[in-house]
Amino acid sequence: MEIIPYRSEYKSAFIRLNLAWLNRYFHVEERDEEMLQGVEEFIEKGAAVYLALEGKMPVAVCMVIPRGGGVWEICKLAAHEGYRRRGAGSAVLSACIRHATEQGAKKFAIASNTRLTAAMRLYEKFGFVRVPLTEEYMEYARKRLS
């Protein structure tokens, strides 16, 4: 497995992997569409996206976005159904954390839904702890379903 930074040739894979889990567990919201379709604009503003490739096939993706004040948000973490529990998600999450740390990140945030038990275990494995959501991270209706 190879971990690479985002390249425009993988935009459709970034979108496809994220839409797969969104449609499986929730529904696609306007903010999702903005982030997925506008991934390059987010990167231009300081975000980063990493992909895990198996051969030439993207099997996992993750995005990290600067929120200001040394806080970076981990988001848009998704893995291909057939490649879950093989380390691809951990690898792209780790790459995002490393990138943000190199850019001066002091704190990380992940806004998720507790229904995503595998994701919650992964975040806890990386040392994240559950805290109540603040209003700034309530951009999605699905987060209110936790």
Tens of pLDDT, residue by residue over 37-63, are 999 999 999 999 999 999 999 999 999
Residue type at position 104: G
- Describe the strand order of the beta sheet including 71-79 as a list of residue ranges: 2-5, 48-54, 57-68, 71-79, 107-109
Q: What pLDDT, on a 0 to 100 scale, did the predictor assign at position 138?
A: 52
Q: What is the DSSP letter of 132?
A: P
Single pTM value for the model? 0.86
Architecture of domain 2-145: 3-Layer(aba) Sandwich (3.40)
More confident residue, 116 or 106: 106
| pLDDT level of residue 127 (50, 70, 90 thresholds) | confident
